Amino acid sequence: MTLNTTHNTTDMPKTPSQKNTGVQAPDYIRNLTPYQSGKLISELAREKGLKRIVKLASNENPLGCSPLALKAVQESLNGAYRYVDPGAYELTTALSEYHGRPRKEIICGAGIDSLMSYIIAAFSDVDDEILTGEATFIGVFVNTKKCNRNIVTAPMKDYAYDLQAIVAAITPRTKIIYLANPNNPTGKMIPKVALDEFIEKVPQNILIILDEAYYNYACGDTNYPDGMKYRRENLIVTRTFSKDYGLAGLRVGYAVGPERLIKELYKIKLPFEPAHPAQSAAVAALGDTKFVEQTIQLNKSSMKQLTDGFDKLGLRYIKSHANFLLLILADEEQAADFAEECLNRGLILRHTKAFGAPCGVRINTGTSEDDIFALEVIETVWSLLKR
């Protein structure tokens, strides 16, 4: 017997959704705005025809990437035809040894952004709320909306998280709280005592994401808490190889938390990420302590060079524990104009309106030559715009 699966579509009634509307995305997707990254150097060169361009917009490592990582990438390309290990055995083993945490408590992905989308999808539902501060990492806003969740923001206090306000904003619908320490784009740090008190006040059924993307820049401060030392059933710590290790273009991040939570993330994680060259690079970079030390020293000297220059110009900025500074302008219009005028002169900075800080412009540290150029451009622009 042959089953006839053909249908005469002319005899089938049309539903309202079939009236020549075509394929439609859900409203929450149509209402999204594509992520706008920092301006590309090649793009600006094409647009403006500038001879010199310095990009200090994306918190990248001005030293480039770890030499050991670069060598590992080159060697790994011989195996590019093979699928990667979904569990990233070599990388999770290296991270386990580095942090003193079991492999079963570690998961790797294509950057913190990727992992955050998995965490939100795994531990919240469409009617739930993700809670954070009003001026923080843009990724939490993007991924929350992409997953059709509700994001709730508590006001900041002097450009830092107001942890009391966050606790006060908890409702029965709150499922996840996101904190970046240090915070991006403000650079402010949550001290250990304050974080400990906060964690005790958060109900156990609410997951805390503690994003430590800038850990190595902040850990020299004795008041800075190391998230890897916490053993909480409702805490996941995320870190990245994009900043201090200089692997932003390879996209490697990882999350550490209770084994039972990590198991859930593996269920929805895309199986073949990070890519094989990225995993190899991360393993090598993790052991390149010399490169990290050079990065931290350069960050310190660059931070001083920039802040000394801003002090002379009378530009307001927020003291930072990361590898960037947030300049505070008079209002959103002046901040947008400041970033645009710098861009016209070959200096790429980041207006932080999308981060919830419309009066801010973020600038990351660079080489001494980068900083000299940046300060020259900023002095020219500031003389035109200050009021």
Domains (range + CATH), the chain: 36-63+290-385 (3.90.1150.10), 67-287 (3.40.640.10)
φ/ψ of residue 105, rounded to 5: -100, 10
Question: Residue 21: is its pLDDT beyond 90?
Answer: no
Integer distance in angstroms from the first to the last C-alpha of the chain?
85
Residue 5 is predicted with a pLDDT of 43
Beta strands in 4-136 (DSSP E): 54-55, 106-109, 129-133
The pLDDT-based confidence of 48 (bands split at 50, 70, 90) is low
Residue 104 is predicted with a pLDDT of 97
Question: Residue 241: is its pLDDT beyond 70?
Answer: yes
d(CA 229, CA 237): 10
What is the β-pairing status of strands 129-133 and 150-154?
A: parallel
Residue 1 is predicted with a pLDDT of 42
User: Which of 17-21, 74-78, 184-188, 342-346 has the least mean pLDDT?
Assistant: 17-21
Q: Taking the mean position of all CA atoms in its chain, how far away is CA 281?
A: 19
User: Which of 25-39, 199-213, 289-303, 355-369 has the least mean pLDDT?
Assistant: 25-39
Residue 37 is predicted with a pLDDT of 65
Helices 368-385, 289-313: axis angle to 10 degrees equals 30
State the burial class of residue 131 (Cβ atoms within 10 Å of its Cβ: 0-12, 13-18, 19+).
buried
d(CA 216, CA 286): 12
User: How many beta carbons lie within 10 A of that of residue 50, not counting itself?
Assistant: 15
What integer is the mean pLDDT of 255-284? 96
The mean of the pLDDT values for the chain is 92
Residue 34 is predicted with a pLDDT of 74
Residue 43 is predicted with a pLDDT of 72
Residue 38 is predicted with a pLDDT of 64
pLDDT, tens only, 271-287: 899 999 999 999 999 99
Residue 126 is predicted with a pLDDT of 92
Q: Is the dihedral of CA 137, 251, 342, 310 positive or negative?
A: positive
Question: Residue 2: is its pLDDT beyond 50?
Answer: no
Instruction: Measure the CA dihedral 295/318/113/134, to 10°.
Output: 170
What is the percent of the chain with per-residue pLDDT over 90, rounded to a whole number?
Answer: 84
Question: Residue 18: is its pLDDT beyond 60?
Answer: no
Residue 25 is predicted with a pLDDT of 84
pLDDT, tens only, 136-193: 999 999 999 999 999 999 999 999 999 999 999 999 999 999 999 999 999 999 999 9
What integer is the mean pLDDT of 304-329? 98
What integer is the mean pLDDT of 34-41? 68
